[in-house]
Chain A
Amino acid sequence: MVRLITHNLLACHVKGCDSNNFPLTFSDAEVEIRETEYNAEFLKGFFPKLEWKALVDSARQLGDVSLPETPPIDYDSNEEFLRALHHVLLEIHVQEGSMICPNCKHVYRIQSGIPNMLLAEHEVAGR
């Protein structure tokens, strides 16, 4: 159940990997679409936090091209846009596959919708 909304918040947290570590690249992703309730208020509130380019790129990796390269200026009143955003953010679930850090190439495996974020001892950051 990795949705793009969480994927858009997620960077690699391996020790010393602190630049170019976002967004994680999907590979061999199996996608499931699950409908959820449309909540415009939430989307409007959340929109400023999104990394737009990362979101569009990741959506395209998963085969969804409904989002424009640059978001419309009237994003908070454009119903059609918000619907598309809702679909991409909250309804696309990655069930299987992996996410790979573009910098250190750490592979986070996704199994039955749960990504394994555990690190090996030597990858844990010191204090």
Chain B
Amino acid sequence: MSRPEFEAPPEIYYGDEEAKKYTSNTRNQEIQAQMTDRALELLSLPPGPAMLLDIGCGSGLSGEILDEEGHVWVGVDIAPSMLEVALEREVEGDLFLQDIGQGFGFRPGSFDGAISISVLQWLCNADTTSPTSSPYARLTRFFTTLHASLSNGSKAVFQFYPQNDDQIQLIMGVALKAGFTGGLVVDYPNSKKAKKYFLCLFVGGSVPGKGRQQQLPQGLTGEPEGIQYEKRRTENSNERGRKDKKRRNIKDKEWILKKKDLYRRRGKEDVPRDSKYTGRRRKPIF
């Protein structure tokens, strides 16, 4: 599966067309809604309306859910086209065109919580070579200024799609250095498609008014609820594929090169180098 963050920076990837496509896609809407609901659940706000920050609000799909819950929110996003769609959809929150990797300018303690759906992975790609835009520098600015703008005892929940363990380590490391506590909650860890990563970060150690330590919530396990479009689609395509052509047993040079390339991209060590002997046919005498 290709990742959009490899293709272009977010403000370019989500141009006019992509922004409209993303927002009008009902599957996106449903997944986004599910993840926002879950993020709110993990946020476990005290009852009553709160002031929230939606990081990477895009076209306001998650903002709408915050509206429904009666919260007041501020959304920031770097893609002007997405924000334009949000304006057309007349969301309630205030929108800002902002690069989260440049840090926030909010006053200390401004927000009662923050959510962010499918955004963090975008911060891990550097688009220029300048030292201020290395992923580490961007993440650091982001987490330190975010930590400052959250009120004591509040939480920030980030749903994101990490590429690999190194990326998780990098993000967690920077977040902890910025003063957050907390950790990773993985929903449906055994499901390939429904598996979701939520980074739950706490500001300050205890829940206000309760005087107890913040507990990291449990990830969901078992069978995911809801319609699994993706699963159905892969099953169908597998059946079709099997009918069309029988599984090839002979691994030719092309196949070997493809596999080795895949392993290298995944960061596997000790992948043998390619040479003229790679996948060469042996003599029949052998």
Chain A interface (Cβ < 8 Å from any Cβ of B)? 1-3, 5-6, 8-13, 21-22, 36, 39, 41-42, 45-46, 49, 51, 90, 112-119, 121, 124-127
Contact = CB atoms under 8 A, between A and B. Distances in A.
B105 interface: yes
B92 interface: yes
B256 interface: no
Interface in B6-61: 48-51
Nearest to B99: A118
Given A42-B49, A90-B72, A118 B105 contact: no
A118 B49 CA distance: 29
B194 interface: no
Contacts of A13: 102-105, 145
Contact of B48 (A22, A42, A90): A42
B137 interface: yes
Given A22-B107, A127-B137, A121 B132 contact: yes
B87 A113 contact: yes
Closest 6 CB pairs of A and B: A13-B105, A117-B98, A42-B49, A9-B110, A6-B94, A116-B97
For chain B, what secondary structure do more than half of its interface residues adopt (helix, strand, loop), or is it mixed? mixed
Interface in B96-125: 96-99, 102-107, 109-111
Nearest to B91: A1
Interface string B62-93: 00000000101010101010011001000011
Query: Interface centre among A36, A41, A51, A127, by most B CB within 10 Å?
Result: A127
Contacts of A41: 48-49
B16 to A, nearest CB: 15
Given A39-B49, A127-B141, A10 B72 contact: no
7 contacts: A8-B107, A13-B104, A42-B72, A46-B51, A114-B80, A118-B98, A125-B103
A50 to B, nearest CB: 10
B109 A49 contact: yes
Given A13-B105, A125-B141, A119 B99 contact: yes
B87 A12 contact: no
Contacts of B110: 9, 49
B95 interface: yes
B130 interface: yes
Contacts of B49: 39, 41-42, 45
Contacts of A114: 80, 83, 87, 95-97
A113 B95 contact: yes
Nearest to B49: A42
B258 to A, nearest CB: 40
Contacts of A121: 130, 132-133
A44 B23 CA distance: 35
B102 A124 contact: yes
Contact of B96 (A5, A115, A119, A124): A115
Contacts of A12: 105
Nearest to B144: A127
B249 to A, nearest CB: 54
A5 B72 contact: yes
Contacts of A113: 87, 95
Contacts of B96: 6, 114-115, 117
Contacts of A118: 78, 97-99, 102
A89 B118 CA distance: 30
A9 B102 contact: no
A46 B74 CA distance: 14
B154 interface: no
Contacts of A46: 51, 72
Nearest to A24: B105
Given A1-B95, A124-B141, 9 more contacts: A9-B74, A9-B149, A12-B105, A13-B145, A45-B50, A112-B87, A117-B105, A124-B103, A124-B133
